[in-house]
């Protein structure tokens, strides 16, 4: 995950809020950690040191008020900036003059939450997020036949605010790329029925996909760079997650400029 992105801790006992609001924030370029309880939120806050906490007040067990009490310093300041995110009306009056940075009602337009989050970040000297590429420019298609590896890569890109989907076979990848061209393709070199070089050649021969940049990763030792078509922009040998993410992000940026 890109540590330069503003970190938000989203605290809510409603799983649907954690998913929908968390996804919205990630799509805007924030690094989001989700917590379903006050105890979990306190642990995450201590570990992650968030730039902003978006906090539900009405949770079962220890409430959001208990969380606020736990993060209040002896100087009567909070350890972290906090936006209260609640379905209860009138809470803005309740918190008027309190230590929190604002109150957002859950039924409000979701863009209000984004505006408030950016306002609080600016107030506390935190940078606003650089929004990731949208639409096709921010989508990644992955070709990987090992399920666990594919799921890990999808999670890696999603946490970085990018959309990613994984397919296990080369023919399925080609079909998906033709149907909806992505911003970049990340392909394992050895795949069932084909290798990534052959897939790249096929895509390079089609008018709708020839401009899609391709990144190949290889742990077989069989790949030779001189055999690759021009739409293959990078080759990674035994790459770490960090290198995969930085390389794909770099290729996306290059494609956006061309």
63-107 per-position pLDDT tens digit: 888 999 999 999 888 999 999 998 877 666 667 656 888 888 887
Q: Is the pLDDT of residue 9 over 60?
A: yes
Which segments within 39-191 are labelled E, that is strand?
52-55, 82-86, 102-105, 139-143, 163-167, 184-188, 190-191
CA neighbor of 145 nearest in space, from 162, 169, 118:
169
Q: Do residues 118 and 161 lie in contact, with contact meaning Cβ atoms separated by under 8 Å?
A: no
User: Does residue 53 lie in a domain region?
Assistant: yes
Confidence of residue 2 (pLDDT cuts 50, 70, 90): very low
193: CB partners within 8 A, 6+ apart? 169, 170, 171
Q: What is the pLDDT, as a whole number, of residue 29?
A: 76
Q: How far apart are CA 45 and CA 145, in angstroms?
A: 36
User: Does residue 203 lie in a domain region?
Assistant: yes
CATH number at residue 248: 3.40.50.2300
193-245 per-position pLDDT tens digit: 778 888 999 999 988 898 999 999 987 666 666 678 899 999 988 667 888 88
Q: What is the pLDDT, as a whole number, of residue 142?
A: 94
User: Does residue 2 lie in a domain region?
Assistant: no
Quote the number of domains for the chain: 2
User: Does residue 34 lie in a domain region?
Assistant: yes
Question: Domain boundary residue among 123, 145, 164?
Answer: 123
Q: How far apart are CA 74 and CA 78, in angstroms?
A: 9
3-state SS of 50-80 is CCEEEECCCCCCCCHHHHHHHCECCCCCECC
Q: What is the pTM of this model?
A: 0.53
Q: What is the pLDDT, as a whole number, of residue 1?
A: 39
Q: What is the pLDDT, as a whole number, of residue 180?
A: 86
Q: Is the pLDDT of residue 52 over 60?
A: yes
Residue 145 shares a structural domain with residue 250: yes
Strand partners, 184: 140
Q: What is the pLDDT, as a whole number, of residue 96?
A: 62
Element (H, E) at 216: strand 214-218
Q: Is the pLDDT of residue 20 over 60?
A: yes
Domain extent, residue 148, equals: 135-257
Q: What is the pLDDT, as a whole number, of residue 136?
A: 58
Q: How far apart are CA 68 and CA 63, in angstroms?
A: 9
Residue 169 shares a structural domain with residue 233: yes
């Amino acid at each position: 995950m890109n540590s330069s992105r503003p970190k938000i801790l989203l605290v809510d006992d409603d799983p649907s809020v954690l998913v929908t609001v968390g996804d919205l924030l990630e799509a805007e370029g924030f690094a989001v950690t989700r917590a379903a309880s006050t105890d979990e939120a306190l642990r995450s806050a201590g570990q992650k040191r968030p730039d902003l906490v978006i906090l539900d007040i009405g949770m079962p067990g220890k409430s959001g008020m208990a969380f606020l009490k736990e993060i209040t310093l002896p100087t009567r300041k909070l350890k972290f900036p906090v936006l209260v995110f609640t379905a209860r009306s009138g809470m803005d009056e309740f918190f008027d003059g309190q230590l929190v940075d604002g109150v957002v009602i859950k039924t409000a337009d979701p863009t209000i939450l984004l505006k408030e989050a950016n306002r609080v970040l600016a107030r506390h000297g935190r940078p606003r997020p650089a929004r990731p590429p949208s639409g096709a420019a921010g989508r990644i298609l992955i070709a990987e036949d090992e399920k666990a590896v594919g799921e890990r890569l999808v999670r890696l890109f999603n946490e970085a605010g990018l959309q990613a989907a994984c397919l296990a076979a080369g023919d399925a990848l080609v079909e998906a790329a033709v149907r909806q061209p992505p911003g970049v393709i990340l392909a394992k070199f050895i795949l069932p029925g084909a290798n990534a070089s052959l897939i790249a050649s096929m895509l390079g021969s089609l008018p709708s996909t020839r401009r899609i940049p391709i990144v190949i990763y290889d742990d077989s030792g069989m790949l030779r760079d001189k055999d690759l078509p021009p739409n293959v922009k990078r080759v990674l040998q035994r790459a770490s997650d960090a290198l995969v993410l930085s390389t794909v992000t770099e290729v996306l940026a290059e494609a956006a400029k061309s």
